[in-house]
């Protein structure tokens, strides 16, 4: 019988493996309206990891990683955005999940 200290024993992750990764580009009036801060708040509340940032072309870009349902709920929110925003387009690119993030952050 092998003990738990054996180098061949399985390691259990403290969080479930990522199921989906979405690379999102949001267009419209999405800068200067708290879009990044609200995106971080919404994504963190859904248990997603990744990041969000402003782009020079006035869009917002985000990487979302997590469960399928949480990603869909976040994408629904991105199509509306915070109260002061006016979203005109959301482009979603599916990418292989990397599980590289520990939390959800704003990038500058």
Decide if 15 is catalytic.
Answer: no
Is 78 within 8 Å of 90 (Cβ atoms)?
yes
Q: Catalytic residue, from 54, 89, 105, 107: name it.
A: 54
Q: Catalytic residue, from 36, 89, 105, 107: name it.
A: 36
For residue 47, what are the contacts with CB-CB under 8 A and spacing of at least 6? 66, 67, 70
Is 39 within 8 Å of 62 (Cβ atoms)?
yes
Decide if 36 is catalytic.
Answer: yes
The residues that are catalytic are: 36, 54
């Amino acid at each position: 019988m092998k003990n738990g200290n054996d180098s061949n024993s399985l390691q259990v992750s403290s969080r479930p493996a990522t199921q989906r990764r979405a690379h999102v580009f949001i267009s419209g009036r999405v800068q200067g309206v708290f879009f990044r801060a609200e995106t971080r708040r919404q994504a963190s509340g859904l248990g997603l990891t990744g990041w969000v940032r402003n782009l020079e072309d006035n869009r917002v870009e985000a990487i979302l990683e997590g469960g399928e349902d949480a990603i869909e709920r976040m994408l629904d929110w991105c199509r509306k955005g915070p109260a002061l925003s006016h979203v005109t387009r959301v482009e979603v690119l599916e990418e292989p999940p990397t599980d590289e993030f520990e939390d959800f952050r704003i990038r500058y």
